[in-house]
Structure 1
Amino acid sequence: MAPDHWSSLVMAGHRETAMPQPPKRLTPSNSPLDLFGSEVRRYRALVDHSIKQLADKIPYSASFIGAVERAECHCERNFAEHCDAVLDTKQALSHLHDGLFGDKKDGFPEWFRKWPAVEEQAGTLKVYEPTVIYGLLQREEYASSLLFGDREATDARLARQSVLTRTDPVAPRLIYVLPELVLWYDVGGPDVMRAQLQHLVDAIGPRLSVQVIPNGVPHPGNEGAFVLATLPDGKEIALAETAARGIMMDTREDISRLKDRFDAICTQALPTSMSADLITRTIGEKWNHEPRTRLAQVEP
């Protein structure tokens, strides 16, 4: 399974405007996330900081801070520590984080925990995923099926997807390449697959391209999934899949090798418009009816 079979941090983005909407009302007793978010907001308000002012002083974006305050995502203890230092809480948020979340890691393996922070900073993401639909583009039902109904892991993955819809800062440019076979793998049944593939087509836009490698076309993408992230300062970081885990890498040699492989894979993929047509045809040919084998299973 690709790096996105599991996730780590989550992040959400809503633009802070000159005339902000009233903050979401939180009921701290509803959940640990609500309680923690309400306390972050309370301590921030006590020192008369806007979300942007806080973001300027800690290594987290305004969109992520807002998501934490709205109880839309988890955060690492480091986030609480940075807020404590800036807001002069006398470690109140770190202590609260320990009490509420302890050693919970949101159902994510340790190796993945740093990657979503890279996604949040990235200006460009180049993705090759040969097994399933890439996690940032999965619908809830598709993700839940892959994650065997794990609610916490599914919510985390979905929340992380907001990096693609934020406006401040602008969403990363996503270039996504996948083999045609991924469109034919049954994940959750025909209804789930129809909706998932249509979502993939609908997601295509100026900052998001999808390119499909037709079945039978040889390409150098048989060694597993990988993602290449380019940060605003030009630094490049990759996450590559192994049989046991994903590995983050940033050495020049590793990045160069993966960039060459990605370029070679892309030369065998259809342009985005033709890929969208192929996905749409696959919906009609494969997923617009219940397979006979499934019907046979429910017949008396």
Structure 2
Amino acid sequence: MSPRRQRRPSESPALIAFGRQMRRLREAKGVKQETIAHLTQVSGPQVSKIENGKKRATRSFVEFVDEYLEAGGALINLWEDLNKDGHPVPIWFDWPKIEADAAMLVTYQHSVIPGLAQTPAYALAILHGNQEAADARIERQKILKDPREDGSAPPIYVILIDEQALSRQVGTPETMREQLEHLLAVSMLPNITVQVVLGSGEHDGNMGAFVVATMADRSEVAYIETAVRPLTTDDPADLSVVARTLVSLRSRALTEEMSRELIRKVAREKWT
């Protein structure tokens, strides 16, 4: 399920409020950002982003900083106040930024080709002819090929896709054939792995699609599709469920080469 088109705010009041409080507590103790970075093993630029409201902090990070600054739980309480039902708020607007900054992305899709691997025609069909949304989706794909602003390599991208997505028609047969051929081409890129998950029987992946982003500091954020709307979370309990699901899915996945053979077969036999 694709998230509804919404105008994303350029900044989050919740993240800004947390960052300002953390900065005040740190400066009151005369502690430098570099010290927090060293002790938490989070890079200096990442700590700066947290204090400037441009990056969410994980609970483990907040707990450590709260104790080190002798905040008496004030920082933890604020972090919890800015969360709803264990999920950081806002729950949707910051995913494109997380996606662009990730060191590794692992996605599972049970019914469609993942957005970062879609062709323009497939994207346009799945988005019901919304050209603006389709163009934006294709534009996002640059993160898989272009170097980062800091010169670092594009992220590792692992695609786990249920075999039924290869046979589920989106658009015309020509659209599907082109899409599967594109998926094959994408699978040959050095930073991308495509594996088909055999769909027979029951497995945890039937519950829904998701993406897990691993950041440079090794923290994780998950984007989970639900019947109502997608949500973004770094809650440890959520990440644990996703991790267990990934273990189950990978046990059912074909190797890279066997996956390519199956994709070629479906493209040839069903969509030609």
| Partner residue of 2:251 out of 264, 267, 281 | 267
Matched, 1:170 2:153: yes
CA shift in 2, pair 1:262/1:2, >3 Å? farther
Matched, 1:180 2:163: yes
1:112 Cα shift?
A: 3.7
Tell me the distance in 2 between the aligned counterparts of 1:112 and 1:281. Answer: 37
How big is each residue's C-alpha offset from its partner over 1:245-294, in whole Å with a ceiling of 9 and x where there is no partner? 01111011211111111121111010111001100000111001xxxxxx
CA contact (8 A) 1:136 1:160 kept: yes
Tell me the distance in 1 between the aligned counterparts of 2:199 and 2:215. Answer: 33
Matched, 1:193 2:176: yes
| Partner residue of 1:126 out of 98, 106, 115 | 106
Give the secondary structure class of the aligned counterpart of 1:269: coil
How big is each residue's C-alpha offset from its partner over 1:107-158, in whole Å with a ceiling of 9 and x where there is no partner? xxx8543111001110111101111100000000000001111111111111
1:220 Cα shift?
A: 1.6
Tell me the distance in 1 between the aligned counterparts of 2:242 and 2:7. Answer: 23
Gaps of 5+ in 1: 10-54, 60-77, 79-109, 289-300
- The residue aligned with 2:226 is 242
Tell me the distance in 1 between the aligned counterparts of 2:110 and 2:240. Answer: 20
CA contact (8 A) 1:217 1:268 kept: no
- The residue aligned with 1:142 is 122
Give the secondary structure class of the aligned counterpart of 1:237: strand
CA contact (8 A) 1:176 1:211 kept: yes
- The residue aligned with 1:287 is 271
- The residue aligned with 2:212 is 228
1:217 Cα shift?
A: 4.6
User: Identity over the aligned pairs, expressed in percent?
Assistant: 36
Give the secondary structure class of the aligned counterpart of 2:270: helix
- The residue aligned with 1:35 is none
Structure 1 segment 102-117 matched on structure 2, within 5 A: 112-117=92-97
CA shift in 2, pair 1:145/1:7, >3 Å? farther
How big is each residue's C-alpha offset from its partner over 1:38-94, in whole Å with a ceiling of 9 and x where there is no partner? xxxxxxxxxxxxxxxxx9xx96xxxxxxxxxxxxxxxxxx9xxxxxxxxxxxxxxxx
Tell me the distance in 1 between the aligned counterparts of 2:126 and 2:238. Answer: 29
1:171 Cα shift?
A: 0.9
Tell me the distance in 2 between the aligned counterparts of 1:177 and 1:272. Answer: 10
1:218 Cα shift?
A: 3.7
Give the secondary structure class of the aligned counterpart of 1:201: helix
Tell me the distance in 1 between the aligned counterparts of 2:2 and 2:161. Answer: 12
CA contact (8 A) 1:8 1:116 kept: no
CA contact (8 A) 2:91 2:233 kept: no
Tell me the distance in 1 between the aligned counterparts of 2:117 and 2:130. Answer: 18
| Length-normalised TM-score, structure 2 | 0.66
How many residues align structurally?
A: 192
